[in-house]
Structure 1
Amino acid sequence: MNITTSSSPVTARRRNFLRGAVAGLTLAGLALLAHAAAPLVGTAIGNQASATYTDDSGTERTVLSNTVTTLVQQVYALDLRQDNTRTANPGGQVFFPHTVTNLGNGIDTFALAAINGGGATTLGNIVIYIDADGDGNPDNFTPITTTGPLAAGASFRFIVAATVPPGATLGNNGLVTVTATSPNGGGTPIVETNTDTATLTNDAVMQVTKAASLGSGHPGTATFTYTITYRNIGNTPASQFTITDAIPAGLAVGSARWSVSGSTVLDSATLPSSVAAGSIAYNAAGQNVTFVIGEVAAGVSGYVTVEVSVNAGVAPGILNNTAYYSFITGTDPDPSSPTPTNTVPFEVLPDVSLTFEGPPDPLPPVAAGGSVSFNNVLTNTGTGTDTFNVVVNGPGTFPGGTTFQLFKSDGATPLTDTNGDGVPDTGPVAAGATYTVVLRANIPGDAAATGTTLAVTKTATSTVDPTRSSTATDEIEGITGAGVDLTGVAGGSGPGTATVIDTVTGNPGSTVIFTLNVENTGPNPDTFNLLADKDGSFGTVNDLPSGWTVVFKDANGVVVSNTGVIAAGGTRTYTAEVTIPAGTPPGDVSVWFQSKSPTTGAADYLHDQVSVNTVRGITLQTNNVGQTFPGGSVVYEHVLTNTGNITEGASGDTNTLAIALADSLAGAGFTSVVYYDANNNGVIDAGDPIVDTSAAAYLSTVKTTGLIKGGSIRFLVKVQAPIGANDGAINVTTLTITPASETIGGTAAPAAVSNTDTTSVIRGNLTIVKEQSIDNGATWSQNQLSALPGAQILYRITVTNVGSATAEDIVVNDTIPANTTYDSGYTPTVTLAGASTPGAWALTGTNIVVTVGSLTPTQTAVVTFAVKIDE
């Protein structure tokens, strides 16, 4: 296997790493892939920093930075396996199995080619056929030249067939050069090459293939059978025909059988020095099984089977299995060199489960205006790595005005969204590992005293299987403070037709399932290729709209592209799993299905339809905490995102987005203004219009085009404290975005979303700003950037005392984001303006703690560190 063209250093590093992993794919290797592989294209990497300090009144306070995000770009790489050597008789045909794997981090399509590679014998009729089930035989005899779209990590199996000329000289070799090409190598195609060798003989030629009765299953429950089929297509007998098979770790070896002896279970025994014709010897030692058949005469075929089961607790992933065979033929008394069969994959599916537990007992009472943090321990009790979304389920029984914030395990860094679905999550948690989610409840200063236990819940939901979730409860024994008592009262048979037969509805990014019944109405057994098409024109490969994919499966869930032999009058049922691309607009999309015999040309089709739902949703991030001094102001950043598939809030449309702003201490002179950040630079400047919330305010007044599907815009809320504000006063500004109650496409308007900005008035006041750089610090930005796997991201955190008194005991907290690793090649810095002694830096696991100390008014502290995107 050779790389015949160059590519970028990132692509090359990723290819070399993953090729090694594919070559030795054990359970440990699978775990390595799960944790070290590059994140998928479009993955968002980012988080917030925080700083804690003590003001001049002795009160400990916390301030949060803005969020910075880097999107992962696509890299392209592939692996082609394997070089093959087969024997063949003059005039015979030979099959060579191959597998191409997408080692990139996004969808790619590979061109396939096979040509004569030289040798003393020129092979003819070189053709490539699909082998979707990986059993070593063509699924049909329709030539192919492309894989079609392959997801990251997916594999495509195919057969290269070649014919030996009848007059070929015995002992000579014929070669075939096989290539798989990605056109997306940064201007230079990426090519992988295999070489297949056919050695000519007049003796026995054994054709051996391997298949599995199941393609996937769960640990502890799945049982399936490996079948190794052999045929002597040569001219003389093959004696002492030996098959050895190392069953992958994680599978338990069961009974074995031979086709000649029917259902009789083979007994394992020590292998004799020679096995008589018509007999078989079998030995099972641990994971290794060996069959020795005394003789396979020319023209004779048969098979052996081994039943296996998946052990409980096996990690999810692909278990690849290849058998080897050898035999004695002709006048040579020595057996041939072991020859590999095709490689058969089996996917171990994940068992998803979790526990999520808050503190076992209520925490002590909390003072009004204070805060309390709860440690909630999530345990991944499933068998594979999972990421868990965490949502706070409303205020529970806490008083109105309580704000809640989710933090990472360090209790200081905000919990962020690592997988781009808009919901804060844990990041990847390995099987059996735990992750602590910290919930902080900020009690309003006017909360009434109570001795009643107050509770709030959070739900953690698996992103591998969203039907699996667990809820944790956090409690306090009441609130101490001012007391008050306020009471109140609470089808398609017959020839194909253009008429739509079946319509299935689905959301963008989901998979819908069509049922296909294939009946052979002819007088003889036949096989039928299965195809899907966007307009009913039908070629030789599936041709759906751009970004759409389809997979056909039989009744056992095995991926197929051909029905196999169906008896005359017989019927088989298949499913077509059609995946709708994320962001697809609502509407009806035609999907045509065809079953066509590659032998007789008999064909029929169905015209079905996918009705893409209208999906509506908006999110608003993030809740903020800040400080200012009497007469001062502070600016908070909020990002509004459209998670649906239609535009919201455009001028002239009825689905408006109303914008409202409210201050809890408006009566005390606090004011706030919201700006639309027109140039998205994170700061208020002359081109940013004010949203007039004193009257009815709508997004369309400042952005006529509204919020497009998948789009995000930034609002900047400026909060002004009055000159006479009391030291310690806390104002909560609430920004609310409310969609009009308008139903579109049968889908109701999304719920209103809001964020809170909690501003404390103190004489010692800090601001914290986080920036990032992907060009080694040449330029810094708060905006979203894009970078390749393996790229370095520099982070810069700037803490400034904008108050009128010294801030003491300042500690800056941050974490290494998910899908990255700490870059030890970069020396982190902590600098204090006007000070000769820098702050202290500490990294524990993924948590960063920087002890700054004190900052006088206008003094700043700057922290820098670096991470690398996983590759």
Structure 2
Amino acid sequence: MKKYATLISLMTALALGTASAAGGTSAGTAIENTAYASYTDDTGTSVTDQASNKVTTTVQTVASFSITPNDGGAIGTPNQDSPGQTWSGGAKPGDTVNFRYTVTNSGNTPLVVDLTTTDRTDTDVTAVKYYLDNPNGGAGNVGVLDAGDTLLTDTNATGTIDTGVIANNAAGTASVTVFQVYTIPAAATPNQKYGANPNGKAYYDSTPDAVTPANNAYTEATGLATDDNNFNQTVIYTPSAVVGPSTFPAGGASGTYTDANNTTITRSGDTQTASPAAGTKTVTFVNTLKNNGTLTDGFEIIKPTIAGATVTITPNTTGVTLTDTDNDGNPEVNNVASNGVFSFNVTITYTGTPPAGAVSSTIGIESLGDSDTTVEDTTTNVINFPGVAFGDPDTTVNGGKASTVATGNPNPVQPGSVVYFPMEVGNTGGAPDTFNLSGTVGVKLTDGSTQTVNVAYYLDANGNGTFEAGTDTPLVDTNTDTDALVDTGSIPAGQEVKLIAAVTIPTNAQYGTYTLTNQQASSTITGASQQDVNDTLTVGKTGNMTFTKSFSKTDSTVTTNNAAPNANVTYYITGKNNSNANVKNFTVKDATPSNTTFVSVLGEVFSANGTKLTTAKVLYSTDNGTTWSATAPTNLTGNVLVGYSSDGDNTISVTDIITPGQQVVVTFVVKVN
């Protein structure tokens, strides 16, 4: 934007190119005078207007000029700190400024005024030039530096640029308007003062040719015509700008908005905070800057460096293009008007999994209108990534840890008892959060079925890791949602809650070790979750394997019988698993009693509820288990072994099991001799 010098009051008294004081009769003018007399001589003759001899006076040359406006000093003692005019609004490093001066010929002879420049004692300007304003009524605007003005050169061969001939005016004064133009150094700093003093020295012809001025020869008016008290001043512009949350460049922000990923961003003061859902890797903030300076200015936006993430800055204001002229990765916005605002997007994208917790970043703005690298203002953007640590107690971290080593009850517990596990839930995210808790374990029952048992969670009131009835209270659903899951209640960022997990063992649970494979803490706000899948519990053994021989298939107490010769006698040999554990490699062995003859043998398998397993594979051996056959022997000279091949192969081994409640019944028939 073109700016014009502001003149002190002396300048306002001047009208360019108009008379303001008497310049006097032109030098070299001949003033001739003749006297006349009238009289009557002694003869009575009257004489009228008798001319005397002519006398001639030649007007002397007076060389005089001035350059205005003046500073507060005098000729010979200029005052750089009391300038005659000041550049309006200040200037930025690298700016070119111009000041308008009037050079007036107040003498009576044509002059040529040489122009030199004196800098301030504390700063130096560069590229000083002088222009003649609108010479000879040419193109351009009078009083304004523009293309119609002419660059001054050395016209009188003194080696110094000059004004050219300024004619005298017998009726007053003659003047020209010149512009002093200079450039502010790029290293200039805010509030620094720059200035230049145009010094004038007059040259004239002591015997000017008023008829043909081109014949004049201009020489220095030694000791007669100088002017050097004309300091101007340029104060270097001091940028002023602020940056803050969207639409609040000066801070004091409030309210919320959402980005493209539907993340809510909350503004507060000079900070805005995003709380993305779990799995979100990109958040876009909107920041707004305002140019509080008096000049149009540009600003470099200083990007933050965030580990594991890329930061991209784009215009949020339509029709604006960002540049990066110094290729430092920080974009620049140009031509922000005084009191103008500009909004821009700050997009933070993680290439991998974002870290749990608060990620704070600072955005700065640096004026392009000064030479330093000090930012004008900063603002803060915060991402509260969600996070949860859930699992077994760990004193080294916030919250529990899903241990790689299964941790369960130290000793087997009996069916019908309760197993307790100390647990912890830590909020590793950057904002308060509430976590639902859930967990189940599949426990096999003695009837062969599996029961899913829910894990109950209690608040460990004193954090000692031991369940204390009446002190440790069960968790409830505090957030009144519809999932019916208990939760931790709100946990502040960086804090943890100590819990007790409880599993009630079914009364008919089978012996064995069971893993809680799906315990989980899940945020009700962001969805962040963590599982602990390797806690175990062990159900101890109860009961045993019973083995009876009876004459009744249903009553094992019938152990005596009467039989006549040639009558058949039937024995029922029953092996029943009355424990809660599997029995392996079970066989029944019998032999033909004396005084009897073998008739038949039959093995059967029944489930815990008494149902015959018709597909059960029963094997027989008459050589003490060396070989096995699915066909019962028809004669017997020694022992017979009967076993249940639960794995379906053709032998009885440790892989063959009798599950809790199952029974093997062998019917052995002989005839009394």
TM over 0.5: no
Larger RCO, structure (CA 8 Å, separation 6 or more): 1
Question: If the length of structure 1 is used for normalisation, what is the TM-score?
Answer: 0.23
Structure (1 or 2) with the larger CA radius of gyration: 2
Give the TM-score, by structure 2 length: 0.28
